[in-house]
Amino acid sequence: MSQAPHIALLGVGAVGQLICHQLSSVGSEILLLTRSKSGLQTLTYHPISNADTNVSAYTTISHQYHCQAIEAVTVEQLANIRLLIVTTKAYQVVELIKPLLAILRADCHLVLLHNGMGPHLALSAMLAQYPNIGLSLATTSQGALRLSQWQVKHTGAGLTHLGHSFGKPMADNYRQLLLKAIPNSHWQDDIISSLWQKLAINCAINPLTAIHQCQNGALAAPQHQDTIRALLLELIPVAKAQGVELEFASLLEKVNQVISLTAQNYSSMYQDIAHHRPSEITQINGYVSQSAQQHGLQTPHHQAMLNAIKSLETANRLSALSR
């Protein structure tokens, strides 16, 4: 590698590897910040196909490329990073970035891409001490499945929205690069509004599929539709209190469109609970409940989803301890 890369990815899981492939495809060199692996790594990307999830069925159309990986704590190489894209789970973002702020370049730009909301608020407060570090936010409906450590399958096309959040705006060359690299990506002047729309969809689909242990398509049933309506009706005034106007009928239509288009899929929260991993419930329904409280609003259905998923997480932890 001739020169140390200026772009790094922190959180090189399913979405991170998808974005890494997309940036590599337009000629960018990406430094991977991992928690364990160092050295030159060979990554494999499998494009969207109708093939089943058997790896051997689509290795012939896969694309291989190389990236340098370092442990996220390696100070010297972080000093070269001008754009840091963070694609960890929402609950990992703040604790991972906090120690890096003092060692990143003074003018580094951060991009957060995760489901749920909240980490940007904690991070914006921390960034007050770093006036030249800017923050952008992103949300994606692309789908990605990690098949092994360095192997990802692109499971769904979808829109990606990016936009400015805090501090110095992203340099134009990086903005153009991201829009060129990520298919169906758009720069949004009001990114918070896009995040609320995605949040509403996640609030409606994710906890219900995890609680009822079902595929997304099962939520078309009338008993779930009642709960979905109640969740959206509670969320809309909370978004409004934060300056975001959402319309019930179009939001419900969007949620049902996603339910129908992804009928065979298991949501990420279903999978997290099924595999005894922590879920992003605190940043999804939990964010709505917490924001509602700050505005004196009631969100009993979101609170019920939060409590139910937290109970499942606790049960999973206890069963792991008793093994």
For the bound state, the minimum distance from the C-beta of residue 281 to ligand NAP, rounded and expressed in Å, comes to 11
Residue with tokens 């000629």, as numbered in its chain: 27
Which one among 5, 7, 8, 11 touches ligand NAP, defined by CB under 6 A?
Answer: 11
d(CA 247, CA 226): 17
Query: By CB under 6 A, what part of segment 135-174 binds ligand NAP?
Result: 140, 143-144, 146
Of the pair 225, 271, the CB lying nearest ligand NAP is at 271
d(CA 9, CA 181): 14
Q: Report the run of H or E that residue 139 belongs to, with start and end.
A: strand 134-140
Site size toward ligand NAP (CB under 6 A) is 25
For the bound state, the minimum distance from the C-beta of residue 145 to ligand NAP, rounded and expressed in Å, comes to 7
**Residue 289 contacts ligand NAP per CB under 6 A:** no
Rounded to 10 deg, the angle between the 191-211 and 285-294 helix axes is 120
For the bound state, the minimum distance from the C-beta of residue 223 to ligand NAP, rounded and expressed in Å, comes to 26
For the bound state, the minimum distance from the C-beta of residue 218 to ligand NAP, rounded and expressed in Å, comes to 19
**Residue 14 contacts ligand NAP per CB under 6 A:** yes
- Taking alpha carbons only, the member of 82, 114, 93, 97 closest to residue 7 is 82
Q: Is 272 exposed, middle or buried (0-12, 13-18, 19+ CB in 10 A)?
A: buried
**Residue 87 contacts ligand NAP per CB under 6 A:** yes
Task: With beta carbons less than 8 A apart as the criterion, state whether 121 and 147 touch.
Answer: no
Of the pair 13, 217, the CB lying nearest ligand NAP is at 13
Q: Could you tell me which stretch among 1-9, 14-22, 231-239, 253-261 binds ligand NAP (CB under 6 A)?
A: 14-22
Query: By CB under 6 A, what part of segment 22-41 binds ligand NAP?
Result: 33-35
Task: With beta carbons less than 8 A apart as the criterion, state whether 112 and 120 touch.
Answer: yes
Catalytic positions, written as ranges:
198
**Residue 109 contacts ligand NAP per CB under 6 A:** no
Query: In this structure, which amino acid lies at residue 202?
Result: N
Task: With beta carbons less than 8 A apart as the criterion, state whether 285 and 203 touch.
Answer: yes
**Residue 96 contacts ligand NAP per CB under 6 A:** yes
Q: Could you tell me which stretch among 13-21, 54-62, 287-295, 311-319 binds ligand NAP (CB under 6 A)?
A: 13-21
d(CA 70, CA 38): 4
Q: What is the DSSP letter of 245?
A: -
For the bound state, the minimum distance from the C-beta of residue 234 to ligand NAP, rounded and expressed in Å, comes to 22
**Residue 105 contacts ligand NAP per CB under 6 A:** no
**Residue 115 contacts ligand NAP per CB under 6 A:** yes
**Residue 12 contacts ligand NAP per CB under 6 A:** yes
Residue with tokens 């509670």, as numbered in its chain: 234
> Which residues does 69 contact at the CB level (< 8 Å), separation at least 6?
12, 31, 32, 33, 34, 37, 38, 39, 40, 41
Binding interface with ligand NAP (CB under 6 A): 10-16, 33-35, 72, 87-90, 92, 96, 114-115, 140, 143-144, 146, 268, 280
